Structure 1
Amino acid sequence: MKKNLFPLVAMFAGFTLVLISIAMSGNLMSFWSLSSLIITLVGSLCALSISYPLEDLKTIPAALRKITEDSEANLLNLVELFTELSRRARKDGLLALEDQLEDIEDEFIVRCVRMVIDGMEPEVIRNVMEIEIETTQDRHKVAQDIFQTWGELAPAFGMIGTLIGLIVMLAKLEDASAIGSGMAVALITTFYGAFFANLVLIPIATNLKIKTRTEIYRREMIVVGVLEIQAGTNPRVLEEIILTYLNPKERKAYAQMKLQTEAA
């Protein structure tokens, strides 16, 4: 699957711009505190571990890989795939699709096509796949909620770190020279919490929500495409039906891709 590295580039750019702004205004090392980092990130991670089962937390790596998926290219390839499957089914019959299943990586498409080959009723196929779509949506929502919750916990633990720093500072009020530096250190944890929540955690949660919406939309396209193949719809008509799920930009990209394929 084609990768979209723009989210990672944007995140890196955000980190870089913040660091440059700090360097232009003062000393970078004055914004570094290992204890503050531990309180903010490790503390919020511990709270997250209390909130969610370990099995749910294990989905974090897979969710992080998902933010780089190129959903647009995925939709374009889907139109091309179902047009080809329709041509094959119209020419050689539905049973001929069995030979092409090995070349399809998407298990959802394979399941749909297998049900068509097995002669299941269209309503049965639609009902089964709708249940599968709902299950996928619920499963993806777990990862979204994890990052959203983490984004809410990080600033809270940043505030806890600030309170700890203020308590330590107030315990040393007899040393007036330590008040300024102590206040700076106390505020660093709040900075860390707001920084990671708003540049990393909450944006990842939003990205995953959009990816899930696109995936559900894509699976609805798959169900429609499979049912049209089962009904024996003309490949050209099927192509036009599936293209209605694409926005104008995606349709233009598909037309260009089709021209390049035909030219080759």
Structure 2
Amino acid sequence: MDIGTLLGLLSGFGLIVGSIMFGGGGLGGFIDVPSVLIVVGGTMATAFIMFPMKIVFGSFKVAMKAFFAHDTDAASLINQVVMLAEKARKESLVALEKAPVDDPFIRKGILLVADGTEESLVRAVMDTEISFMKQRHRQGQGVFKGMGTMAPAFGMIGTLVGLVKMLQNLSDPAAIGPAMAVALLTTLYGAVLANVVFLPLAKKLEERSQEESLYMEIAMEGVISILHGEHPQIVREKLLAFLAPALRGDK
């Protein structure tokens, strides 16, 4: 689990709630069901308008990537590719068919190499998978970016609704307070949802996608290097070039 995502969400909401509590009064004055319906309901409704239903529902599954990261240990990946390169040089490319490879992406590339597939086709197949992976991830990110854009807008809509209700009941002092609560709380809810939940999650998913894309690109270059019969140490140095110096073990 990514502790950073969970810690960020908890601390974000915790600081807001804490400031309310320390400021005097309780949380009761900041809870308003009509405001929740306007902001949350309206934001979800527009998400179904902007995106196909299956993409909206799928985005919640994609959101789990913000909490549970895919195993993208580049150092372990490079070690695995180097071992495969050593096996290919000592035995043959055909021997790679029986090599124990758990990652389905690497496995697909290794099987193509073992079958004697040309470099252009191997690269095309693996490039296509990377491209469609990015496209799937962009769809999930787009849903959260869209909701992050619309939540403050519905907060403003709620504010206008509250102001209209207030102006309609200026002669009744008892009705002014609830109307103002809707007006102000919808703006608060929209801002919190957008800036604490939706937009940060979209950014985290974007970072996850970049990490996974880099992992797959390293794997692809490793597979191509094995196809060329390059020396394992050359393969290692070539793949380490993808990583920041700190991740290579350089000083």
For Structure 1 versus Structure 2, the TM-score category normalised by the shorter chain is over 0.9
1:202 aligned residue (196, 199, 205): 199
CA contact (8 A) 2:97 2:114 kept: yes
CA contact (8 A) 1:126 1:223 kept: yes
Pairwise CA distance, 1:223: 1.1
The residue aligned with 2:82 is: 83
CA contact (8 A) 1:72 1:250 kept: no
Counterpart Cα distance in 2 of 1:67 and 1:51? 22
Is it true that 1:20 corresponds to 2:18 in the alignment? yes
User: Could you say what secondary structure the match of 2:73 adopts?
Assistant: helix
Counterpart Cα distance in 2 of 1:42 and 1:171? 25
Identity %: 35
Counterpart Cα distance in 1 of 2:242 and 2:70? 13
Letter in 2 for 1:43: G
Pairwise CA distance, 1:6: 1.0
Matches within 5 A, 1:241-252: 241-252=238-249
Matches within 5 A, 1:133-212: 133-212=130-209
CA contact (8 A) 1:71 1:214 kept: no
The residue aligned with 1:113 is: 110
- Structure 1, gaps ≥5 residues long: 256-264
Counterpart Cα distance in 2 of 1:152 and 1:178? 31
Pairwise CA distance, 1:177: 4.6
CA contact (8 A) 2:21 2:27 kept: yes
Provide the aligned C-alpha RMSD in A.
Answer: 1.8
Pairwise CA distance, 1:42: 1.5
The residue aligned with 1:53 is: 52
> TM-score by structure 2 length?
0.92
Letter in 2 for 1:232: G
What is the aligned residue count?
Answer: 249
Pairwise CA distance, 1:69: 4.3
For each residue in 1:181-220, what CA deviation from the matched residue of structure 2 results, as whole angstroms up to 9, or x when unmatched?
A: 5313321011000000001000111111122222222221
Counterpart Cα distance in 2 of 1:216 and 1:53? 25
In the superposition, relative to structure 1, how do residues 100 and 5 fare at CA in structure 2: closer, same or farther (>3 Å)? Answer: farther
Letter in 2 for 1:62: K
* Structure 1 stretches of 4+ moved >4 Å: 69-73
Pairwise CA distance, 1:71: 6.4
